[in-house]
Amino acid sequence: MKQFAYVMALLSLLCLPVAASADDDVARMVATLQIENLRRDYAFATDLIGTNVPENVEKGRAIYRRIFTADVKISASNGDTPPFRAVGPDEWVDVAAGALKVFDATQHLIGTQRVQIESMPGSEQGGHATMTSYLQAWHSDPDRVLDIFIGTYHDKLRYTEKGGWQIYEMHLEKVSGEVTPKP
């Protein structure tokens, strides 16, 4: 009985709806953590790709293939420039590698994440969710001390038996940024 009360208290802190049974609550909590980890894995993979070392790029590609559906639609806005667009994880690897090749180092930090589970796996609708995640991406290059990109990821996800939770649509919106020149 203490475990059930603990789970209910934890769910209320996570702002998850309380379902009819403890099993439903735990399933939603597990699904939320699985979904959030996709964005963390994405940040790690992007930093691997940003090294421009061929074996790291391939490790990043493998992670992208796991977290995205094969037909994922991806876009990213960068202020005044036209948005970057890609279909599929491999095409996005090429976009990311091209955008990051000017940098010596990158670090993509994921902040606040908000997951909304619309339907759970096994339901009539199948598993569907959305996620919003805050980003701070730090980049350094030979000509500038620091290039900081602050943005928000907007994701749509679905669950399949074969792939688990995967992102099928992603948009990265630039919110702010700063380039600090060398002294």
Tell me if 127 sits within 8 A of 159, measured CB to CB.
Answer: yes
Domains within the chain, CATH numbers bracketed: 2-181 (3.10.450.50)
Stated pTM of the model:
0.84
Strand order in the sheet with 81-87: 81-87, 68-78, 164-181, 144-160, 128-140, 105-119
pLDDT confidence of residue 18: 47
pLDDT confidence of residue 13: 53
pLDDT confidence of residue 84: 86
The pLDDT tens digits of the residues spanning 115-160 come to 999 999 988 888 999 999 999 999 998 877 788 899 999 999 999 9
The pLDDT tens digits of the residues spanning 166-177 come to 999 999 999 998
The pLDDT tens digits of the residues spanning 77-120 come to 877 778 889 999 999 999 999 999 989 889 999 999 999 999 99
Q: Is the pLDDT of residue 21 over 70?
A: no
Q: Is the pLDDT of residue 73 over 80?
A: yes
In angstroms, the CA 153 to CA 105 distance is: 21
Q: Is the pLDDT of residue 162 over 80?
A: yes
Element (H, E) at 110: strand 105-119
In angstroms, the CA 78 to CA 62 distance is: 26
In DSSP terms, which residues pair with 97 in a beta bridge?
Answer: none
